[in-house]
């Protein structure tokens, strides 16, 4: 358990509304990631962070923004949710140790109607 908590766990929202998902970690890891999981696509990287205020885009970043004002919190925002953003979202961390796997939060199931 790497002390990662995602909130909310489930959310239903309407098309066009803004949505923010939160990832909170308790172990002071520097590197954090947001993935989305869709059937037939596996997990795809949306954005990542390598420190406070240091973020960058991943493979599927269009329509998403992130912020990291504190080490422990990494926020993912959908500025104007679309039905194509219905997905399961995972936050992950990778400790800066050679060979260590990624640790994941419990996931957030987001449905955009």
The Cα–Cα gap between 17 and 81 comes to 6
Q: Cβ 83 to other proteins, closest distance in Å?
A: 21
Q: Cβ 16 to other proteins, closest distance in Å?
A: 27
CA dist list (Å): 108 to 15, 19, 50, 52, 99:
17, 12, 22, 23, 27
Q: Which residues of 92-110 are buried (b: 16+ CB within 10 A; e: fewer)?
A: bbbeeeeeeeebbbebbeb
- CB-wise, 53 or 98, nearer to other proteins? 98
- CB-wise, 58 or 63, nearer to other proteins? 58
Q: Cβ distance 99 to 39 under 8 Å?
A: no
- CB-wise, 15 or 31, nearer to other proteins? 31
- CB-wise, 29 or 112, nearer to other proteins? 29
Q: Cβ distance 111 to 86 under 8 Å?
A: yes
Q: Cβ 20 to other proteins, closest distance in Å?
A: 20
Rule CB under 8 A: which residues touch other proteins? Answer: 30-31, 33, 35, 40-45, 48, 50, 56, 58, 88, 90, 92, 94, 96, 98-99, 101-102, 104, 106-107, 109
Q: Cβ 47 to other proteins, closest distance in Å?
A: 10
């Amino acid at each position: 358990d790497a002390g990662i908590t995602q909130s909310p766990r489930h959310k239903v929202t309407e098309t066009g509304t803004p949505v923010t998902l939160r990832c909170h970690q308790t172990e002071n890891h520097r590197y954090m990631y947001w993935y989305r999981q869709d059937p037939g696509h596996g997990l795809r990287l949306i954005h990542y962070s390598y420190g406070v205020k240091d973020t960058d885009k991943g493979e599927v970043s269009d329509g998403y923004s992130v912020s990291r004002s504190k080490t422990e919190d990494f926020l993912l925002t959908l500025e104007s949710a679309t039905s194509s953003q219905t997905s399961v979202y995972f936050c992950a961390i990778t400790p800066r140790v050679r060979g260590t796997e990624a640790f994941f939060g419990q996931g957030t199931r987001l449905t955009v109607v």
